[in-house]
C-alpha cells in the first residue's frame, strides 16, 4: 500500500445528480447483464447443455410420434413440423422459469446486498438484466432448434417467422422471468424455489399445445391448454411454420373462441405487464 | 456543535413476531460527528451489525429516526446510498468474476461515468496494493485480499460516510495495519468513518470517538481518553509470587484494603490469585511496596497502568467484554441470524 498524498480518499460533492434517470437505469441494467454474460462465458457448460437439450427433445419426441395417426394434426401437418414451435417455446419458458435461481443464490450468499446498498434507480433493472440475458440465450437456442428442424426436414419459418419468434419469446420471457424473480424474492430459499419450478415446469408443458393440438385433448385439458400462456406463444410460431402467417390470421381454436396471432401476442404482453406490476412491490419491499 | 453526520434517535428493531420475537435494538441513540473515526464497541449479539445494516438501508427500523448526511434514511434511502459506503462483515463475491470486474460492476451501479470509474478503480488498486491479483478470479482470493477489495468497493464512489462491520476480524497483522492506515487517512481527508469492533485495542488505537453498545442500546459514549479519565484512579496488578494460593491472596487483600489511597482490591482467581487494585494516585504504589516489605511479603510483579477501555467497559456493563462474549455465545441462533441478513 502507498500513502495517499492526494485527495484520493476525500469525499466529493455529488456531481451527477442531474443525470437522467434513463441513463442511470441503462447503465445499471447493462452492468448487471454484463455480469450474467461473463458468468456464461466462463461456465460455457450452461450454454452447451442449453442448446443440446432442446435438440434432443426435438429428435426424440419427433421420432416417438412420427407414426401418429393421419388426421391427428390439422391440415395434415407432419408431427416434426408441428413440434418445432412447441420445443422453441418450451425451451425459452424453462430458461425464464429458472432465471430466479441465480438471484436466489445471490440472496443466500449475500451478494444481493451489494446491489441493494447501491443507489439503483430502480430494482427493476435486476429484472430487466435477467430478461435481456434469457432472451438472448433463448434466441441462440431457438436458432439452433430451427436449424436442426430444417435439417430434419421439418421446414423453416422464413425471415418474418424469425422476427415473430423474437417478438413472441421476448414477451414470454419477460412475463416468466418476472414471475421467477418475484418468487426468488418472496420464497425463503432455493429449496422452495426449485420445488415451485419443478411443479410448474412439466405440467405446463403437457397442459399446452406444445406436444398435441387441442382437438386431440379431452375437453377439460383442452380448456387448460387454451388458457395456458405457453399456448399463446406456441400457436403464432406454429402458424409461421405452417407457412401462411399473418397477424390477423386465426391461429388458436380455443373452446371459448378463435384467436388471431395478434390477439395471442396481446395476451402475452398483458401477462408480462401484469406480472411485472405484481412483483414490483416485492422488489421494493421494506425500502425503496 | 455541528449537526452529526449519523444521527440515530430512539431506534428499535425487532426480528420475528410473537413469542419468538427478538429485540435487536432497544431505543438506540447514536450521534457520529462529521469527520470522526468512530468506534462502535460491544460483544457479539449486542446489535452492532443491525445498527450498521439499518444505516446502509438494508433494514428498516421497527421504530425511531435514522439520519445520514442530513437525509432521512427512510424517506430518501437512495440519497443515503449515494453518500454512504458500506463494507459488510461477510464478504460475498461473485467468485467467477475478477476483482476488477466486480469493481466495474459496482461503479456502474453507482452511476460513475465510464472514464471516471476506470480511473478511480486504478487509483484504488494502487492505494490498496491490489495490482498483482486484481485481474484474477475473486474465488482465489485470501481473506486479506477480499477485505481490501471490499474496502475498495466501499470507497469507489467517494462516500461522505464509510461504515465498516468488523473490518479486521480474522485478518493477519499486516493486512490489519494496512486497513488501519487507510481508515486514518480517510478520516484525515474528511470522510467520516464508523466501524464496529469487538476488539478493545482496535477501537482504542483507532477511534477518536466511541460508543459502547450492549443489549441494543448505547450505554456509554465519548472519546476514549475522556471515558478512561472519567473512571479515575490507576490500575495496579500485584503478584506476591508467580503462583499464590487463595488464603495468602485473601490475607494480602485484607492488608492492602486498609491502606489509604486504595479504593478497591479484587482477588483475580483466573490469574493465579493475583490482586487487582484501583488506587488514587502515583504515591500510593510506593506506599504499597513499603507495606508489603514491612509484612515481609515478597513481590513477584507489580504493574501500574491507567484505566484501559476494558475498565471502561467493565464499569459500564458490570462485566468484561470477554465475559459478555461468552455469555452470548451460548444463546445465539446462527441460522435465524443468517435468515435475517437475507433480503
Question: Per the CB < 8 Å rule, is A9 touching B127?
Answer: yes
Fold of B233-306: Alpha-Beta Plaits (3.30.70)
Burial of B66 (0-12, 13-18, 19+ CB in 10 A): buried
- Taking one residue from A and the other from B, the number of pairs with CB-CB distance under 8 angstroms is 129
Nearest to B109 among A12, A115, A188 (CB): A115
C-alpha pair distances (Å), B273 with each of B266, B267, B293? 9, 6, 19
pLDDT, position A288: 37
pLDDT, position B181: 92
Q: Which residues contact A161 (CB under 8 A, 6 or more apart)?
A: A237, A240, A241, A245
Alpha-carbon gap: A149 to the closest alpha carbon of chain B (Å):
35
Alpha-carbon gap: B88 to the closest alpha carbon of chain A (Å):
9
| Segment (H or E) for B262 | strand B262-268
How far apart (Å, rounded) are the C-alpha atoms in residues B145 and B151?
10
Contact B192, B30 (CB under 8 A): no
Restricting to B residues 158-187, those with a Cβ less than 8 Å away from any Cβ of A are 158-160, 178, 181-182, 185-186
Walk along chain B (343 residues) in steps of 10 and give the mean pLDDT of each run: 86 88 92 94 88 93 94 93 90 90 96 94 93 95 91 93 91 88 93 90 90 90 86 82 81 83 79 80 80 84 82 74 67 63 63
Q: Which residues contact A246 (CB under 8 A, 6 or more apart)?
A: A261
B90: closest chain A residue by CA: A110
Contact B296, B302 (CB under 8 A): no
**What percent of chain A has pLDDT above 90?**
55
Q: Where are the domains of chain B?
A: 6-228+319-340, 233-306
Restricting to A residues 171-190, those with a Cβ less than 8 Å away from any Cβ of B are 188
pLDDT, position B117: 94
Place of cell 471490499: B150
Low-confidence ranges of chain A (pLDDT < 50): 1-5, 286-288
Alpha-carbon gap: B198 to the closest alpha carbon of chain A (Å):
22
pLDDT, position B143: 87
B224 touches A: beta carbon within 8 Å? no
Nearest to B128 among A1, A19, A286 (CB): A1
Query: CA nearest A83: which of A153, A151, A143, A149?
Result: A149
Nearest to B97 among A35, A120, A188 (CB): A35
Report the alpha-carbon angle A238-A241-A246, nearest 5.
80
Alpha-carbon gap: B258 to the closest alpha carbon of chain A (Å):
55
Alpha-carbon gap: B100 to the closest alpha carbon of chain A (Å):
12
A191 touches B: beta carbon within 8 Å? no
Question: What sign does the dihedral B277-B278-B280-B282 (CA atoms) show?
Answer: positive
Which chain A residues have a beta carbon less than 8 Å from that of B56? 117
pLDDT, position B343: 60
Report the alpha-carbon angle B148-B151-B155, nearest 5.
140
Restricting to A residues 30-69, those with a Cβ less than 8 Å away from any Cβ of B are 30-32, 34-35, 38-39, 42-43
Which chain B residues have a beta carbon less than 8 Å from that of A8? 123, 127, 189
How far apart (Å, rounded) are the C-alpha atoms in residues B31 and B34?
10
pLDDT, position B211: 94
Q: Which residues contact A70 (CB under 8 A, 6 or more apart)?
A: A76
Instruction: Tell me the per-residue pLDDT of A68-121, one tens digit each, with 9 for 90 and over.
Output: 777 778 777 788 888 889 999 999 999 999 999 999 999 888 899 889 999 999
Q: Is residue A4 part of a domain?
A: no
ipTM of predicted assembly, 2 dp: 0.86
| SS (HEC) of chain A | CCCCCCCCCCCCCCCCCCCCHHHHHHHHHHHHHHHHHHHHHHCCHHHHHHHHHHHHHHHHHHHHCCCCCCCCCHHHCCHHHHHHHHHHHHHHHHHHHCCHHHHHHHHHHCHHHHHHCCCCCCCHHHHHHHHHHHHHHHHHHHHHHHHHHHHCCCCCCHHHHHHHHHHHHHHHHHHHHHHHHHHHHHCCCHHHHHHHHHHHHHHHHHCCCCCCCHHHCCHHHHHHHHHCHHHHHHHHHHHHHHCCCCCCCEEEEECCEEEEHHHHHHHHHHHHHHHHHHHHHHHCCCCC
Query: CA nearest B162: which of B195, B132, B131?
Result: B195
Number of domains chain A contains: 1
State which residues form the domain around A127: 23-65+72-283
Question: Per the CB < 8 Å rule, is A113 touching B128?
Answer: no
How far apart (Å, rounded) are the C-alpha atoms in residues B156 and B121?
7
Domain B6-228+319-340: give its CATH code: 3.40.50.300
Nearest to A110 among B57, B83, B92 (CB): B92
| Segment (H or E) for B224 | helix B224-231
Q: In this structure, what C-alpha cell is assigned to residue A5?
A: 498524498
Which chain A residues have a beta carbon less than 8 Å from that of B94? 35, 39, 111
Q: Is B308 helix (H, G, I), strand (E, B) or coil?
A: coil
Q: Is residue A18 part of a domain?
A: no
C-alpha pair distances (Å), B21 with each of B13, B64, B199, B339? 10, 18, 29, 14
Phi, psi at residue B68, to the nearest 5°?
Answer: -130, 125
Other CB atoms within 10 Å distance of the CB of residue A169? 26
Q: Is residue A6 part of a domain?
A: no
A19: closest chain B residue by CA: B111
Q: Is B268 helix (H, G, I), strand (E, B) or coil?
A: strand
Amino acid at each position: 500500500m502507498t500513502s495517499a498524498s492526494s485527495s484520493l480518499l476525500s469525499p466529493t460533492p455529488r456531481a451527477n445528480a442531474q443525470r437522467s434517470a434513463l441513463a442511470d437505469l441503462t447503465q445499471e441494467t447493462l452492468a448487471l447483464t454484463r455480469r450474467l454474460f461473463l458468468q456464461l462465458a466462463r461456465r460455457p457448460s450452461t450454454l452447451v447443455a442449453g442448446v443440446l437439450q432442446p435438440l434432443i427433445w426435438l429428435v426424440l419426441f419427433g421420432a416417438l410420434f412420427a407414426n401418429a395417426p393421419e388426421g391427428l394434426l390439422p391440415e395434415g401437418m407432419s408431427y416434426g413440423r408441428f413440434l418445432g414451435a412447441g420445443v422453441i417455446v418450451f425451451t425459452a419458458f424453462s430458461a425464464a422459469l429458472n432465471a430466479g435461481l441465480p438471484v436466489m443464490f445471490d440472496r443466500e450468499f449475500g451478494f444481493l446486498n451489494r446491489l441493494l446498498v447501491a443507489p439503483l434507480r430502480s430494482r427493476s433493472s435486476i429484472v430487466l438484466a435477467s430478461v435481456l440475458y434469457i432472451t438472448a440465450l433463448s434466441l441462440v437456442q431457438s436458432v439452433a432448434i430451427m436449424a436442426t428442424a430444417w435439417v430434419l426436414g421439418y421446414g423453416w419459418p422464413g425471415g418474418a417467422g424469425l422476427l415473430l419468434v423474437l417478438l413472441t419469446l421476448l414477451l414470454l420471457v419477460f412475463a416468466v422471468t418476472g414471475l421467477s424473480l418475484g418468487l426468488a424474492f418472496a420464497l425463503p430459499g432455493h429449496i422452495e424455489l426449485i420445488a415451485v419450478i419443478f411443479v410448474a415446469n412439466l405440467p405446463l408443458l403437457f397442459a399446452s399445445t406444445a406436444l398435441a393440438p387441442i382437438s386431440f385433448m379431452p375437453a377439460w385439458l383442452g380448456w387448460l391448454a387454451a388458457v395456458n400462456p405457453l399456448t399463446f406463444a406456441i400457436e403464432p410460431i406454429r402458424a409461421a411454420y405452417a407457412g401462411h402467417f399473418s397477424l390477423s390470421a386465426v391461429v388458436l381454436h380455443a373452446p371459448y373462441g378463435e384467436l388471431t396471432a395478434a390477439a395471442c401476442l396481446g395476451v402475452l404482453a398483458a401477462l408480462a405487464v401484469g406480472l411485472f406490476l405484481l412483483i414490483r412491490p416485492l422488489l421494493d419491499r421494506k425500502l425503496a | 456543535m455541528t449537526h452529526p453526520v449519523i444521527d440515530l434517535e430512539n431506534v428499535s428493531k425487532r426480528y420475528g413476531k410473537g413469542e419468538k420475537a427478538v429485540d435487536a435494538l432497544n431505543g438506540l441513540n447514536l450521534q457520529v460527528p462529521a469527520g470522526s473515526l468512530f468506534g462502535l464497541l460491544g460483544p457479539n449479539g449486542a446489535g452492532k451489525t443491525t445498527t450498521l445494516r439499518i444505516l446502509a438501508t438494508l433494514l428498516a427500523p421497527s421504530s425511531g429516526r435514522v439520519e445520514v448526511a442530513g437525509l432521512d434514511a427512510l424517506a430518501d434511502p437512495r440519497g443515503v446510498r449515494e453518500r454512504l459506503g458500506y463494507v459488510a462483515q461477510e464478504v460475498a463475491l461473485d467468485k467467477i468474476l475478477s476483482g476488477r470486474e466486480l469493481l466495474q460492476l459496482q461503479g456502474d451501479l453507482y452511476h460513475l461515468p465510464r472514464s471516471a470509474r476506470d480511473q478511480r478503480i486504478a487509483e484504488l488498486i494502487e492505494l490498496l496494493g491490489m495490482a498483482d491479483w486484481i485481474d484474477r478470479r475473486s474465488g482465489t482470493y485470501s481473506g486479506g485480499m477480499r477485505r481490501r477489495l471490499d474496502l475498495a468497493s466501499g470507497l469507489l464512489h467517494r462516500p461522505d460516510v464509510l461504515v465498516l462491520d468488523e473490518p479486521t476480524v480474522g485478518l493477519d497483522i499486516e493486512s490489519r495495519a494496512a486497513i488501519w492506515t487507510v481508515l486514518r487517512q480517510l478520516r484525515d481527508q474528511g470522510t467520516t468513518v464508523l466501524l464496529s469492533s469487538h476488539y478493545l485495542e482496535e477501537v482504542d488505537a483507532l477511534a477518536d470517538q466511541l460508543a459502547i453498545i450492549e443489549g441494543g442500546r448505547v450505554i456509554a459514549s465519548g472519546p476514549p481518553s475522556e471515558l478512561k479519565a472519567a473512571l479515575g484512579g490507576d490500575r495496579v496488578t500485584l503478584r506476591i509470587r508467580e503462583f499464590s494460593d487463595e488464603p495468602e491472596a485473601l490475607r494480602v487483600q485484607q492488608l492492602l484494603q486498609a491502606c489509604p489511597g486504595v479504593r478497591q482490591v479484587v482477588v483475580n482467581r483466573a490469574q493465579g490469585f493475583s490482586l487487582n487494585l484501583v488506587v488514587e494516585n502515583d504515591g500510593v504504589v510506593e506506599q504499597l511496596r513499603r507495606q508489603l516489605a514491612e509484612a515481609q511479603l515478597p513481590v513477584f510483579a507489580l504493574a501500574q497502568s491507567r484505566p484501559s477501555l476494558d475498565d471502561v467497559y467493565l464499569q459500564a456493563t458490570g462485566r468484561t467484554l470477554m465475559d459478555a462474549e461468552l455469555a452470548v455465545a451460548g444463546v445465539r441462533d446462527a441460522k435465524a441470524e443468517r435468515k435475517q441478513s437475507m433480503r
